[in-house]
Amino acid sequence: MILLLGGTSETAPLAEAIAEAGFAVMVSTASDVPLAIGNHPRISRRSGLLDAEGMVQLAVELNIRAIVDASHPYASAGHAHAKEAAEALGIPYLQWSRPLSLRVGDFVSVAHDHEEAARIAFSFGKPVLLTTGSRNLLQYAVESETTGIPLIARVLDHSDSIRACDVAGIPGDRVITGRGPFSLEDNLAAIKEFGIGVVVTKDSGEAGGVPEKVEAARLTGCRLVMVKRPNTTSDRTYEDAPELVAAIKALVPNRLPVR
């Protein structure tokens, strides 16, 4: 069995490709948010956060032969746990990487982390639309309160995300909930409704809806602040699904009959 760490829109096609190659696939996601994982009978799913120790225990229970890390490109801790678990188990660790979408233009500012992004975003004196999720709200909420500039947060429509906004002190009428990737029209509507002047995003690639955010910012004259990805790539990092599957076949030769 292959352990596929998922949670993004690439999860289903990757799981199906691996299953069709003759492997049983356990898709593991940090949350229980509904997610397409593919329809192949060899694919199953479990949810809940796993540290390295928990991943090792799960791998032993399920006789995991390799770990494929297709979790979010900004999930630094998750990547580290997966690498540690694979090393402890003596099994291959392979990483899926979204192609980068980072394009620096005259309206785009690049930040190395969320603390820097928050400082940059609120330096323009205009309302800020934060589209980086619910895990790094506090830095932006503090800058909003300090500067008196409105912060609008767009987060997943999930109780944990809404609770995180509440803890950060972001009023409910300044929270947009939904599940991305969001269209150009969605982004334009949010910018217009709240009078946004700055959009903050991560470089989550095309699958993360970044091109639509960039275009919406360009069309409306907004500044765009983009948080760079952490450097978490491994020696076995793939941006092409067939290459990833071929590597799994080479590293884990014993597989089920293809059907």
Helices (H), 21-75: 52-62
Q: Give 230 or 65, the one with higher predicted confidence.
A: 65
Residues 136 and 56 occupy one common structural domain: no
Q: Give 177 or 73, the one with higher predicted confidence.
A: 177
pLDDT in tens, 216-232: 999 999 999 998 876 65
| 0.85 surpassed by pTM | no
The highest-confidence range among 89-98, 153-162, 235-244, by mean pLDDT, is 153-162
- Per-residue b/e over 216-253, b at no fewer than 16 CB within 10 Å? bbeeeebbbbbbbbeebeeebebeebeebbebbeeebe
Residue range(s) defining the domain that contains residue 87: 2-99+231-251
Residues 130 and 182 occupy one common structural domain: yes
Residues 79 and 114 occupy one common structural domain: no
Residue 258 lies in a domain: no
Residues 138 and 214 occupy one common structural domain: yes
* % of the chain exceeding 90 in pLDDT: 62
